[in-house]
């Protein structure tokens, strides 16, 4: 008989994607691990059955942007520290097992930081089994009486299933039974570890309520791990004689366990767009113990290591796959139906993800560092895929999801793009050291809840009469009971053989027919008598059989008439029902059209709402930016107003001081003019009254140059004239420590007024050492003015320390010292008045005026104070 093959009934192989059906969000649950010590600081608190709150522990900085603050996260359900494994299984995994038996796919994975309890949740501990053994126990409790014989279902290498007839399955069972049972190198048969035997002894006896009793089932399990972005089969076994020892540096053989490291496997996509691992070992199991023994055989090969944070840290992602093949029985309820359309293959993947970790905490080196990098990279790829899926579903974008960037996401591609249910358990450790990692895990879980997966469709009905298995079983039991009552064979014999034996037993036995004497006249009469009796009995049985046949015919006719009447009645009912169904179909078509119209309207409204929301977000952003801009402008305006007010107040004060200074200078100038006039009158009187014996000698040009300087240094005693003495100009900040920077290029001006700062450090070039000792700085700068005289500028500033440990100067003030000649009238002898006496008088008057001007300027400079431009050099006379 030809084997029938069935594929996994998921998304059909179409070029175009199917129409979007109903979707369900990814179910995310949170489980909080108990603290290892009672005095340990906690950063996670369970608020309610669906909410947890995470708060920064003591010592963490609280930034202004709210990065470290109390935050609440909501989940489908939160399991506290006192919740047992059974409660977690009933809420999370039990619905997935029910869907598996109904022909639907499921994915359950644990996610969290290393040491948060992921492996404990999935596998459990001795005496307290986790989700995986409880799932296996529930499956075999539900389908135990309806399992097919071994090798009736046979998986192929293309993620499909074949159905064999009973003869082929029997031959393969005999072939497998004849093979020797594999042993370990020590010579013992493989047995499950006694310390973990309690994990599978689950006493809940949980089972699915509604199991199709007319189907036969078969369970296949496989176990793989993803290590350093490579896929390895944990159930693959290498023959013992092929094991090659490794050699260390001392040429000594070193065994790495009792097996050769397996080769990496390749991911492929079948014709229904489902991902599978090629060449992966898939074992058919018939009980919970057998399935868990297969799991534990692979668990001992899984890569774990001791780190700073976890004594048995998983260094790879493990995936335990449970495949359930089911097919209906035929109409007689004896054999499996060979139609491949009626064969279903469903799958449940239980994933224990490796924990994310930071190398600065684990102090990983070498291989541990490489493993941690690959683990974090695969988890980051999973996060990226979830983000892109969420963005595509929420905003209608069509970005490519990077499934192929990691083997982990590539393996689960069909779960997120196809049909099924996806459940995630977020395991967290509430200790304060895991605060930052737990915060990232919470954010990822919150984002994952917004991703939706297509709801799986129900398995199509086979169209056969339900109850075939029990009807056939009841018929066999009744036949065996009747045969037992008649004393016939019970086991292993047919009904025809039992009836023939009963019929032969009802005839009288034949006497011996051997004739030893020709004169024997008794044997033949006895034989004739027995034969006549048998003939009469046979005739009687024939008459009885004819009567029975006639009665049976009559019964059949009555039954036929009743069947015909019932058929007529049923046909009438069916016609009525068909009319009703036709009306209901029309109503359904009308409602479907209405639903399509409403869906189209809803789609338009959703798009419109999306556009409005986008506009709203843009307007809100624009409003926020403009409000921020207005706030900045208002603050700038306030600062400018304050600055202008300060400038106005400062300018007003300066102008008031300037006015007072000018008034005082004007008063002093008027007094000096009056005094000059008096002096001129006195000199004129002396000139007129004194006799002139000889003409005064005109001084040379050199003497004219020296005379004003001498008069400015030691003027003649004049009544009420202020004394002129050489003094240094004192800085306004004499009480502070100054750096007096005088470049060597400066020229001495030889004026009366000179800038001088007491207790200052005089340097020719600015140095950081000198700046470190002072808090003020003054630079003496000289340049040539427009009138050809030297102009000296005193540039002052404050010295302050920089963050790098150096010194910097901020200039705050500039004082200007400029040399100017005193303004006076220059008289020359004209050709019309060449009188030498008048020229000499003019010269005397000019000398008096110059001397007075010097005194006036000196007094004015003393009254004005430092910071004012001083004019200390007299104006030179031209010859």
Q: Are 432 and 43 in contact (CB under 8 A)?
A: yes
492 annotated among ligand-binding-site residues: no
What is the rounded CA–CA span in Å between residue 97 and residue 89?
A: 10
Output the DSSP codes for 537-602: HHHHHHHHHHHHHHHHHHHHHHHHHHHHHHHHHHHHHHHHHHHHHHHHHHHHHHHHHHHHHHHHHH
Express each pLDDT in 38-83 by its tens digit.
888 888 999 999 999 998 887 665 554 555 678 899 999 999 999 9
pTM of the model: 0.54
Which tokens go with 542? 């024939």
Q: List Cα–Cα distances, 392 to 399, 400, 436, in angstroms.
A: 7, 9, 28
Cα gap 239→268, rounded to integer Å: 27
Token couple for 573: 């009912």
Determine the pLDDT at residue 856.
39
State what percent of residues in the chain have pLDDT above 90. 28
Residue 216 and residue 336 in contact, taking contact as beta carbons nearer than 8 Å: yes
At 655 the three-state DSSP class reads helix
Range 616-623 average pLDDT: 93
Sign of the C-alpha dihedral, residues 138, 296, 406, 429?
Answer: positive
Three-state DSSP at 638 gives: helix
Domains and CATH numbers, the chain: 87-177+192-248+264-427 (3.40.850.10), 761-816 (2.60.40.4330)
Predicted local distance difference test score (pLDDT) of residue 544: 84
Distance between CA 139 and CA 131 in Å, rounded? 12
Return the pLDDT at 464.
Answer: 73
Q: With bands split at pLDDT 50, 70 and 90, how would you rate the model's confidence at 830?
A: very low
Mean pLDDT of the chain: 77
Determine if residue 116 is labeled as part of a ligand binding site.
yes
Distances (CA, A) of 760 to 138, 537, 756, 773, 816: 94, 155, 9, 10, 20
Task: Compute the C-alpha angle 367/369/370, nearest 5°.
Answer: 65
pLDDT for the residue numbered 463: 64
Q: Contact 859/675 with Cβ under 8 angstroms?
A: no
To the question of whether residue 115 is assigned a binding role by annotation, the answer is: yes
Q: How do residues 631-677 score in pLDDT, each as one tens digit?
A: 999 999 999 999 999 999 999 999 999 999 999 999 988 988 898 88
User: Cβ atoms within 10 A of the Cβ of 70, count?
Assistant: 10
Q: Was 112 annotated as part of a binding site?
A: yes
| Residues ≥6 apart with Cβ < 8 Å to 127 | 198, 199
State pLDDT tens for residues 400-441.
Answer: 999 999 999 999 998 888 878 999 999 999 988 888 888 889
The answer to whether 705 touches 750, Cβ cutoff 8 Å, is no
């Amino acid at each position: 008989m030809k084997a029938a093959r069935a594929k996994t009934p998921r998304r059909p192989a179409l070029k175009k994607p199917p129409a979007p059906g109903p979707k369900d969000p990814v179910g995310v649950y949170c489980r909080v691990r108990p603290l290892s010590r009672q005095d340990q600081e906690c950063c996670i608190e369970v608020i309610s059955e669906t909410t947890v709150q995470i708060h920064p522990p003591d010592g963490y900085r609280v930034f202004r942007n709210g990065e470290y603050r109390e935050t609440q996260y909501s989940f489908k359900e939160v399991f506290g520290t006192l919740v047992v494994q059974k409660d977690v299984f009933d809420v999370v995994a039990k619905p997935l097992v029910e869907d598996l038996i109904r022909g639907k796919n499921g994915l359950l994975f644990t996610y969290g930081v290393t040491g948060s309890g992921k492996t404990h949740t999935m596998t459990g501990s001795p005496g307290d089994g986790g989700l995986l053994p409880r799932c296996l126990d529930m499956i075999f409790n539900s389908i135990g009486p309806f399992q097919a014989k071994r090798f009736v279902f046979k998986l192929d290498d293309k993620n499909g299933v074949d159905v064999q007839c009973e003869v082929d399955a029997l031959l393969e069972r005999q072939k497998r039974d004849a093979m020797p049972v594999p042993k370990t190198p020590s010579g013992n048969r493989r047995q499950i570890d006694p310390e973990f035997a309690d994990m599978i002894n689950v006493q809940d006896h949980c089972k699915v309520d509604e199991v199709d009793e007319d189907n036969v089932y078969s369970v296949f399990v496989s176990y793989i791990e993803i290590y350093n972005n490579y896929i390895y089969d944990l159930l693959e076994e290498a023959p013992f004689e092929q094991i090659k020892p490794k050699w260390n540096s001392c040429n000594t053989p070193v065994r790495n366990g009792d097996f050769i490291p397996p080769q990496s496997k390749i991911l492929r996509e079948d014709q229904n767009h489902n991902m599978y691992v090629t060449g992966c070992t898939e074992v058919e199991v018939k009980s919970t113990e057998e399935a868990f023994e297969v799991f534990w055989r692979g668990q001992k090969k899984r890569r774990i290591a001791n780190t700073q944070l976890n004594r048995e840290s998983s260094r790879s992602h493990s995936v335990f796959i449970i495949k359930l093949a089911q097919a209906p029985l035929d109409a007689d309820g004896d054999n499996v139906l060979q139609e491949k359309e009626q064969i279903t293959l469903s799958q449940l993947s239980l994933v224990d993800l490796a924990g994310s970790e930071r190398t600065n905490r684990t102090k990983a080196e070498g291989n541990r560092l490489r493993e941690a990098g690959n683990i974090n990279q695969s988890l980051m790829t999973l996060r990226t895929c979830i983000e892109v899926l969420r963005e595509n579903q929420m905003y209608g974008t069509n970005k490519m999801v990077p499934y192929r960037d990691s083997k982990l996401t590539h393996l689960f591609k069909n779960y997120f793009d196809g049909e099924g249910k996806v459940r995630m358990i977020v395991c967290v450790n509430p200790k304060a050291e895991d605060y930052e990692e737990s915060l990232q895990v919470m954010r990822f879980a919150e984002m994952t809840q917004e991703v939706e997966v297509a709801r799986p469709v129900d398995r199509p009905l086979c169209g056969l009469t339900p109850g075939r298995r029990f009807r056939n079983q009841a018929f066999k039991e009744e036949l065996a009971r009747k045969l037992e009552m008649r004393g016939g064979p019970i086991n292993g014999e047919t009904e025809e053989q039992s009836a023939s034996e009963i019929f032969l037993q009802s005839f009288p036995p034949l006497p011996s027919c051997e004739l030893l004497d020709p004169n024997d006249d008794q044997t033949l009469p006895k034989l004739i008598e027995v034969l006549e009796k048998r003939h009469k009995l046979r005739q009687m049985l024939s008459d009885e059989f004819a009567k029975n046949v006639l009665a049976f015919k009559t019964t059949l006719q009555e039954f036929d008439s009743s069947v015909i009447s019932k058929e007529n009645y049923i046909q009438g009912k069916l016609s009525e029902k068909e009319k009703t169904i036709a009306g209901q179909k029309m109503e359904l078509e009308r409602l479907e059209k209405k639903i399509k119209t409403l869906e189209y309207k809803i789609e338009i409204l959703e798009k419109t709402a999306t556009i409005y929301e986008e506009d709203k977000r843009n307007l809100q952003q624009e409003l926020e930016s403009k409000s921020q801009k207005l706030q900045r402008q208002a603050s700038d305006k306030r600062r400018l107003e304050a600055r202008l007010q300060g400038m106005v107040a400062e300018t007003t004060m300066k102008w008031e001081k300037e006015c007072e200074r000018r008034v005082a200078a004007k008063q002093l100038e008027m007094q000096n003019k009056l005094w000059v006039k008096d002096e001129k009158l006195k000199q004129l009187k002396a000139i007129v009254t004194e006799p002139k014996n000889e003409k005064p000698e005109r001084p040379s040009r050199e003497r004219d140059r020296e005379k004003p300087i001498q008069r400015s240094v030691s003027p003649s005693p004049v009544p009420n004239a202020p004394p002129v003495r050489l003094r240094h100009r004192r800085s306004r900040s004499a009480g502070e420590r100054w750096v007096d920077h005088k470049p060597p290029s400066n020229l001495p001006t030889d004026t009366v007024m000179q800038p001088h700062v007491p207790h200052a450090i005089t340097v020719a070039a600015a140095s950081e050492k000198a700046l470190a000792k002072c808090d003020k700085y003054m630079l003496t700068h000289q340049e040539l003015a427009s009138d050809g005289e030297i102009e000296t500028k005193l540039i002052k500033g404050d010295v302050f320390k920089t963050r790098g440990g150096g010194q910097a100067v901020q200039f705050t003030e500039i004082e200007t010292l400029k040399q100017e000649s005193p303004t006076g009238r220059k008289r020359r002898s004209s050709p019309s008045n060449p009188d030498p006496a008048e020229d000499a008088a003019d010269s005397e008057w000019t000398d008096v005026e110059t001397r007075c001007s010097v005194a006036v300027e000196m007094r004015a400079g003393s009254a004005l104070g430092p910071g004012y431009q001083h004019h200390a050099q007299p104006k030179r006379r031209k010859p």
